[in-house]
Structure 1
Amino acid sequence: MDIVYVKDLKIPARIGIYEWEKRIRQQIRVDLEMAWDNRIPAASDNIEDTLNYKTASKQVIALVEAQHFDLVERLAETIAQQLISTFNMPWIRVTVGKPGAVRGSSEVGVQIERGTRP
């Protein structure tokens, strides 16, 4: 199985457990690794045969911008479930990073894998 990926997608998000975090937007970072058989689009050279990373990215942006998430864990799980459902992909790895959340670190976050790994 091949991997279609999006790295370092930066999205303004309402995320966090503190009251002040619920009133502001903080930039988060999302990485996606999505299993897909790329032999068909490679042979056809047709966008309709691909796992369209632009469409996937737009879905993630819309999801993040539409609601508040207390935890990066819930956000990662929601992203994974939506993309698996929409694209019928067998496996996904989602990384959600929250820069500046812990003093002295460049970023904290979670990485999850869902589905059957290729």
Structure 2
Amino acid sequence: MQDIVFIEGLTAQAVIGVYDWEKEIQQELVFDLEMSHDNRLPAGTDDLSLTLDYEAISNYILNFCATEQFELIETLAEVLVAKLIAAFSLTEVTLTLRKPGAVPAAQAVGVKIRRFAEQ
């Protein structure tokens, strides 16, 4: 059995897009993450250092979006998940990335990926 630690609706600003005008502005991105983690040890000890620190992960994502630029959200999602796996020793991550303003008639468009740490 594997537990899930999740972050929903994390909103970040990023320079993202293929058009010249998009490369000059920041746009809103919305992240949902599900990360596999065995929560029995942190629950049994009440020790924050044994958990997946969702505040640290959230801050990592916000900083990543503030400092990196990509044309495609697909590229941003792949690079970010690889970095999260490495930085936080994650074994499995499901990331949903939405770009709410991309299609005016849609509430949001985006990608959803699921990646595993290499064994």
TM range (shorter): over 0.9
How many residue pairs get matched? 116
Tell me if structure 2 keeps the 8 A contact 1:38–1:50: yes
TM-score, L = length of structure 2: 0.94
What are structure 2's unaligned runs of at least 5 residues?
none
Measure how far apart 1:103 and its partner are.
Answer: 2.6
Q: What residue number does 1:94 align with? A: 95
Moved >6 Å (runs of 4+): none
C-alpha separation in 1, matches of 2:15 and 2:45: 40
Question: What is the identity, as a one-letter code, of the residue corresponding to 2:24?
Answer: R
Query: What's the TM-score once normalised by structure 1's chain length?
Result: 0.95
Moved more, 107-116 or 33-42: 107-116
Aligned to 2:71: 70
Letter in 2 for 1:55: A
Shift in Å, 1:78 = 1.3
Q: State the identity %.
A: 41
Alpha-carbon separation, structure 2, partners of 1:103 and 1:14: 18
Q: Is the 8 A contact 1:79 1:94 kept in 2?
A: no
Aligned equivalents of 1:91, 1:99: Cα separation in 2: 26
RMSD between aligned residues: 0.9
Contact 2:28 2:101 in 1 (8 A): no
- Rounded to whole Å, the distance in 2 between the matches of 1:68 and 1:115 is 24
